[in-house]
């Protein structure tokens, strides 16, 4: 009898012990990064991925794919929403077509320093979180690009010199900026800038020193005007259902690593701005402070765009502005 009891009870106990001791199953997520390797945004994402692996004890691995090979900028939000990939990076203002609230950080002169850009993010984030939560998405973090300047083949003094120029746009607000400055906007992705210049699709652009370096702009233009028009930001989104399905340890690994990535990303942006501007100069580009007439024109355009943004944005924009400028 004791022998039969031993044979019955002990194996069950061993099975129970085995189940308790079994490690969590490891999971791998693909993560879509928009920019190429070498860009500080991608470098920060790769460090984030390494931190997640370490903090989760290997339970969650992020396989980062750079240069938008998984999802384009226009497809990223919907792709994460549908769990085509569970996590990815998107330029916030690229979403302005679906809701004006996302245009906040590309309104000229609204925030032109990193300090003001951080204040604007703090004001915008609760509005974005509420909107995205209703769409099954969670924000992990955001980080800025350097301030935006104008790249041209020939010198300019005012907006009059941009009249009729084929000008790169990368979101709705940069297209509107080009129109108001007298240029003709053409939507061109970051990875296609070189081809667009070489084929005559564009002959000027408004973008950061980082994108200028990534695209080797010195091969196509010789003049960079440090306009500091605005400071756009990228944000990293995760599919809420995929996040909720993770064990608590992996969820905490993601959010802790994201908090570190945000702090690191803002510091990296300032450092990258100075480094990239120097790289443009080293490669033969002329770096200009904007002429007075161009600054005046920018101020006029900025006021028009700010008024348009507030008028078209409804309560979401009003909430952002109340928090940003109480």
Domain ranges of the chain: 27-324
Query: For the segment 160-178, what is each residue's pLDDT rounded down to a tens digit?
Result: 999 999 999 988 889 999 9
Cα 88 from Cα 19, distance rounded (Å): 34
Superfamily grouping for domain 27-324:
Bacterial extracellular solute-binding protein, family 7 (3.40.190.170)
* Residues composing the chain: 326
Q: What is the mean pLDDT of residues 47-70?
A: 97
Find all residues with CB under 8 Å of 95, minimum gap 6, and list them: 77, 102
Q: What is the mean pLDDT of residues 216-228?
A: 96
Beta strands in the chain (DSSP E): 27-32, 60-65, 87-91, 137-144, 149-152, 166-169, 184-187, 204-207, 223-225, 233-239, 286-288
With a pLDDT cut of 70, the percent of the chain lying above it is 92
pLDDT score at 217: 97
Query: For the segment 232-286, what is each residue's pLDDT rounded down to a tens digit?
Result: 999 999 999 999 999 999 999 999 999 999 999 999 999 999 999 999 999 999 9
Q: What is the mean pLDDT of residues 31-38?
A: 95
pLDDT score at 191: 87
pLDDT score at 24: 54
Burial class (CB in 10 A: 0-12, 13-18, 19+), 96: buried
Does 9 have pLDDT greater than 90?
A: no
Does 2 have pLDDT greater than 70?
A: no
Query: For the segment 140-155, what is each residue's pLDDT rounded down to a tens digit?
Result: 999 999 999 999 999 9
Question: What pTM did the predictor assign?
Answer: 0.86
């Amino acid at each position: 009898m004791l022998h039969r009891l031993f044979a019955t009870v002990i194996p069950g106990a061993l099975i129970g012990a085995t189940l308790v001791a079994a490690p969590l199953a490891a999971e791998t997520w693909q993560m879509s990064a928009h920019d190429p390797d070498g860009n500080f945004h991608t470098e920060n994402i790769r460090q984030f991925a390494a931190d997640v692996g370490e903090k989760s004890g290997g339970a969650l691995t992020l396989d980062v794919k750079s240069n938008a090979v998984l999802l384009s900028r226009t497809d990223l939000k919907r792709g994460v929403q549908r769990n085509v990939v569970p996590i990815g990076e998107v330029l916030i203002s690229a979403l302005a077509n679906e809701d004006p609230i996302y245009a906040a950080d590309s309104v000229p002169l609204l925030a032109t320093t990193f300090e003001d850009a951080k204040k604007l993010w703090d004001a915008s984030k609760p509005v974005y979180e509420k909107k995205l939560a209703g769409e099954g998405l969670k924000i992990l973090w955001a980080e800025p690009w350097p301030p935006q300047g104008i790249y041209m083949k020939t010198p300019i003094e005012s907006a009059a010199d941009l009249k009729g120029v084929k000008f790169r746009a990368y979101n709705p607000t940069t297209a509107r900026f080009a129109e108001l400055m007298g240029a003709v906007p053409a939507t061109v992705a970051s990875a296609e800038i070189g081809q667009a210049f070489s084929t005559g699709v564009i002959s000027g652009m408004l973008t950061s020193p980082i994108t200028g370096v990534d695209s080797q702009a010195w091969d196509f233009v010789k003049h960079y005007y440090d306009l500091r028009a605005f400071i756009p930001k990228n944000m990293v989104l995760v599919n809420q259902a995929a996040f909720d399905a993770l064990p608590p340890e992996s969820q905490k690994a993601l959010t802790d690593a994201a908090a570190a990535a945000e702090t690191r990303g803002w510091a990296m942006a300032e450092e990258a701005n100075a480094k990239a501007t120097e790289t443009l100069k080293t490669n033969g580009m002329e770096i200009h402070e904007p002429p007075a007439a161009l600054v005046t024109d920018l101020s006029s355009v900025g006021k028009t765009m700010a008024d348009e943004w507030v008028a078209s944005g409804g309560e979401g924009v009003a909430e952002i502005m109340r928090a940003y400028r109480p």
